[in-house]
Structure 1
Amino acid sequence: MFPWVYDFRWEPTHLIFLSLFFAVLLTLVSLLMLTVTRTVRALRQGTAEAIRWAEDFHDLPDSSKACRHELTGEVARRTCARGFDCRACEGHATFPSAPAAPSPAAVGDPPTADILGFHTPADRLYHRGHTYVQPEADGTVTVGLDAFASRLIGRPDEIFLPPPGSQLTVNGTAWRLRKGTAEVRILSPVDGEVTEQGGDPLGWVLRVRPAGESLDSRHLLRDGEIRPWVLRELERLEGLLSRGPTGISLADGGAPIEDLASAIPEARRDEILGEMLLEP
C-alpha cells in the first residue's frame, strides 16, 4: 500500500489510501503541535497553576473555605467562592476597607503579637496557605512559612526552591518541600519574580519583586483578622487529628507541639499536611 513496499503500483485505490493516510497523519501532527504550543503558553502565563488551584480549592471541605469576613464576625456565615483571592471578589469591596498594608520593615524588631504561642510580627501579611509576606524598603517582599506552618512541619527533609528569575502567581506553587514520604507544595502569596533564595538558617525562604508598580495585598490577612484565623486553623487541625488514628492531640491551650509532622503516622502525614496547607 506504500510506495516503498515491494510490488507497489500507482493505482487509484492506492492513491486514495495514501491521500487519506497522510491527511490523518498531518491532522494528528498539527493537533500535537497545537497542544504543545498551548501547554507552553499556559505554563508561561500561569494558566496551568490557576487551573490546578481552582481544582484544589474545589476539593477542599467547606469548613476550610470560610470567608475572612466570617472569621472576623462581620457576617455569621460566608463561604469563599473566589479561591481566597479577594481581588476578584465583588462582595469584599462592600465591607469596610481593610487596614493599609504594613510599612516596609524598619531597623530593629517589629511589634509582635503572641497568639497561643504563635509569633505574628505586625509588619507581615498572611496568606491562607500559611505563608507570610513582609514588605521591604527596596520594594521587594520577603516570603516564608508562618509560625503555624513552621511548627506543624518542623524541619523539612528536603526543600525545592525556584531559581531567581522564576515567576510566581498567587495560589500557584511557590516552592515544594518533603517531610518523610509526604511532599507538599507551598502556595505563593504574591504575583511576582523571585529575586533571591533564602532558607531555614535565614528565617525566610524567598525574596520576590511584586508584579506591577506595587504589592496588591487585598487578598492577604492582617491585624485583627489574624487571631480568629489562627483559632479556626487550630480547630481544623484538631478535627483532622481526631478523624483517624494518629495518637496525637493538641497541647493544653491548643497550640501544636513543635515538629508535629514527625509525630503524625506516615500513612496520614500527606493528608494532614496537604489539607492544612490547602493542597487536598
Structure 2
Amino acid sequence: MTVILILLMLSVFMTLDYALGRRVVEQPIVADQPDPLPMPQTAEPVWVGGYQLPEDLRYHLGHVWVRPLGADTVAVGMDDFARRLVGNAQHVALPEAGARLSAGRPAFRVTSAVGNADLVAPLSGEVLEVNPRLAAQPTLATDEPYGRGWLVKMKAHDLTSGLRNLMNGSLARRWTEDARGRLDMQLVALSGSVLQDGGEPVADFATHLSGEDWKRLVNEFLLT
C-alpha cells in the first residue's frame, strides 16, 4: 500500500512539473519594437581643435549634422561645438512628426541653465520621427550628440542637392578649426579662460559667461 501511495505521489509531481514546464515554455516572448528608421553605427570621430568630428557625417554651418539613412531620409543632431556652446540640456523642444522644415530656419530649441538656444534645420523636408528618449532624458542631446542624442529623422525634399550645401572631409575640418579660433578669441575677451589644462575646450562654455554674452555667441555661431 505504501509503495502504491509513493508511486501515486510521484505521478502527481511529474504531471505538475510537466504542466508548469509547458507553461514556462509557452510564455510569449515580447521583443523590442524595431526602430522604423534604424541608426547606423557612427564612425570613430576625429578630433579637430579639441572637438569631435565624425567623418561619416555632413555638417551645416549652424553646427548641425546630417546622417543619410536611405534614398531620401536622414537623421539630424547637434555637433560637439554646438553642445559645448549650448551647455547641458535641460529641455529639448522638437517639431512634431509631419512638420515641414526649411533649411537654415530655426527648427529645434535646446534649453540649458542659461537660456534657450535655437538650432536651424540643415535641410528642407518633412519630419518623420522625433527622438522619443529626449522627452525624459534631454541631457542625451548634449551628452551623446552623435549617438542616442539625435534630434529628428526627416525626409529631405532634394537630398542630393541638399547634401551639396553641407560640409564633410577637409572642408568640415577647416571650418571647425576656424570656428574654434573665432570662439576662443571672443571667450578670452569675455571670461579670460576658455581652455582646460592641456588646451582642450571646456565642456560647457555657458557656465563661464553672462546670459547676455552667451545668447549673443549662440546666435552668432548657430546662425539664429
Structure-1-length-normalised TM-score? 0.56
Hey, what's the Cα distance between the residues in 2 that align with 1:269 and 1:213? 33
Q: What is the aligned partner in structure 2 of residue 164 from structure 1?
A: 97
Report what 1:273 is aligned to: 218
Within 5 Å, give how 1:79-228 maps onto structure 2: 108-137=41-70, 139-198=72-131, 199=134, 200=138, 201=140, 202-212=148-158, 214=160, 216-228=162-174
AA aligned opposite 2:58: L
Gaps in structure 1 of 5+ consecutive residues: 1-104
Structure 1 segments of 4 or more deviating over 4 A?
A: 105-109
Does the C-alpha gap of structure 1 residues 197 and 106 become closer, same or farther in structure 2, counting only changes over 3 Å? closer
Contact kept? 2:42, 2:56, Cα under 8 Å: no
The alignment-based identity, stated in percent, is 29
The answer as to whether partners of 2:195 and 2:202 remain within 8 angstroms in 1 is yes
Partner deviation per Cα, 1:105-154 (whole Å, 9 max, x = no partner): 98545243222332222220000000000001363101000111112223
- Structure showing greater radius of gyration is 2
Cα 1:129/1:137, change in 2 over 3 Å: same
User: What's the CA shift string for 1:68-106, capped at 9, x where partnerless?
Assistant: xxxxxxxxxxxxxxxxxxxxxxxxxxxxxxxxxxxxx98
Match of 1:258 among 176, 180, 203: 203
**Which has the higher relative contact order, 1 or 2, with Cα contacts under 8 A spaced 6 or more apart?**
2
In the alignment, is the contact (CA less than 8 A) between 1:132 and 1:189 conserved in 2?
yes
Question: Considering only aligned residues, what root-mean-square deviation do their CA atoms show, in Å?
Answer: 2.5
Deviations 1:183-218 (A, max 9, x none): 221011001101111135322011111014756211
> Could you tell me which amino acid in structure 2 is paired with residue 145 of structure 1?
M
TM-score (normalised: structure 2)? 0.69
- CA pair 124-247 structure 1, distance change in 2 beyond 3 A: same
Give distance in 2, aligned partners of 1:221 and 1:213.
Answer: 14
